[in-house]
Amino acid sequence: MKRILVACIALLVPIAVVSGQAAHPLSKAAVNDWAKYMVNIQNATVPELSVQDQEQWRIVSVVQSTGVRLDNYSMIAGNRTSLGGSLLYFNRPFEPVLELAEGAKAEVISTTAENVTIKSKSYACTKIVRKISRAVDLSKVQSGWNGISTIWLSPDIPVGGLVKVENHYTSQLTPDSEPNKITETWLLTDFGFKSWKE
């Protein structure tokens, strides 16, 4: 269970805010758009909580005039397992790292252009380096998160455009707990438009 929670503590989007785009990045999303990622999490403080080569999916399951619902899945012990869903509204900033959608303060350090190759095809991305800070809030069951989050975004990718994530941070579950030093990466491995099948 801890491995699942740690894997979920990653992610994927204020694309509209961070990159200065006027339109919400999910405004043209369609049901059954999907993206698949390879996730690696190295916990230097508690190595047994590390995750290696874990497949995760994000699927658009509901589209309404006010927003969308994303369903999240992970491959655990050889089975694709639901990690729950996320409601994302068009009138709110879209945070690519979903776990940082609430309570986090982000300071953009740099924004550059960089190509990322997925399945032998190169995608033009906006690379955004951000300094993130979030205090522990037990009333909201919110962990502390302090470090650097780098995201690569492309308008050619569904489910918000997330191509790659590199996070280097410390995390605390309570104000008095020892911070966990974590390095985390997400890399897009496949995607599709209106083509998700169970």
Concatenate the DSSP letters of all residues of 63-96 into one string. E-SSEEEEEEEEEETTEEEEEEEEEEETTS---S
pTM: 0.85
Strands 180-192 and 34-43, how do they pair? antiparallel
- Three-state SS at 172: strand
pLDDT digits (tens, 9 = 90+) for 78-133: 888 999 999 999 998 888 888 888 889 999 999 999 999 998 999 999 999 999 99
Which CATH code, of 2.40.360, 1.10.3470, 2.60.40, 1.10.20, is assigned to 2-192?
Answer: 2.40.360
Residue 18 has pLDDT above 50, yes or no: no
